[in-house]
Amino acid sequence: MNPEQIAQIEAAVTQILTAVGEDPQRAGLIETPQRVARMYQEIFSGLTTDFDDFKLFDAGSAGEMVVVKDIHFYSMCEHHLLPFFGKVHIAYIPSENKVLGLSKLPRLVEYCAKRPSVQENLTRQIAELIAEHVPVSGVAVSIEAKHLCMEMRGVRSPDSKTKTFFYLGAFKEDQEWKRDFLAAINHD
């Protein structure tokens, strides 16, 4: 984010504090707009950076599923600007003996999560980015998350978890691959 964007966030936070009936000049709040602006810069960094770190390396695993489960993430619900967070499970089937470095998937998840989003779109975006940059015959992504907008407001449903799934290629077309993926992510 550039200095103008930071200044805009600070002014907007001051306005919101005033609008809700607070005094933005009182001691506890005086630095809040700057803090929030710095925080937004961090948690929305996916909007202002690019992720092109799809370094592939050779592995003799064409046709076999690669699964990385329990990737923790934090994102912000685009409807309420409140956090939703949980775990992402990813599987893909390399089609050309090329696989992603294992640390790339958590970084990709972080990049996608650091923007206002909804869980369904985050799930799809992760799958599509992998399919776009890695030679695969299928990608499966599942997210299980808790939404503060469901817990602290509205329906107030503190124990509910939302699960989403997105399948491409073999996982979409072949029930057996889908079953294998679900078995892998449900197994410890």
Catalytic residue list: 77-80, 119, 147, 149
Nearest C-alpha neighbor of 169 from the set 81, 76, 92: 92
Does position 80 interact with Zn ion (CB under 5 A)? The reply is yes
- Single residue of 26, 79, 161, 179 touching Zn ion by CB under 5 A: 79
Does position 172 interact with Zn ion (CB under 5 A)? The reply is no
| DSSP character string of 26-73 | SGGGTTHHHHHHHHHHHHTGGGTS------EEE-S-TTS-EEEEEEEE
Distance CA 134, CA 138 (A): 10
Distance CA 171, CA 79 (A): 30
Residue type, 20: V
Q: Which residue, 5 or 162, is less far from Zn ion as judged by CB? A: 162
Question: Shortest approach of Zn ion to residue 20 CB, angstroms?
Answer: 19
Helix axes 32-43, 3-19, angle to 10 degrees: 120
Q: Which residue, 125 or 137, is less far from Zn ion as judged by CB? A: 125
Distance CA 123, CA 96 (A): 24
Q: Which phi and psi (to 5°) does residue 23 adopt? A: -110, 100
Q: Which residue, 156 or 187, is less far from Zn ion as judged by CB? A: 156
Question: Shortest approach of Zn ion to residue 78 CB, angstroms?
Answer: 8
Contacts with Zn ion: how many residues (CB under 5 A)?
4
Question: Shortest approach of Zn ion to residue 75 CB, angstroms?
Answer: 11
- Single residue of 66, 67, 149, 182 touching Zn ion by CB under 5 A: 149
Question: Shortest approach of Zn ion to residue 82 CB, angstroms?
Answer: 6
- Single residue of 68, 77, 122, 185 touching Zn ion by CB under 5 A: 77
Q: Which spans of this chain sit near Zn ion (rule: CB under 5 A)?
A: 77, 79-80, 149
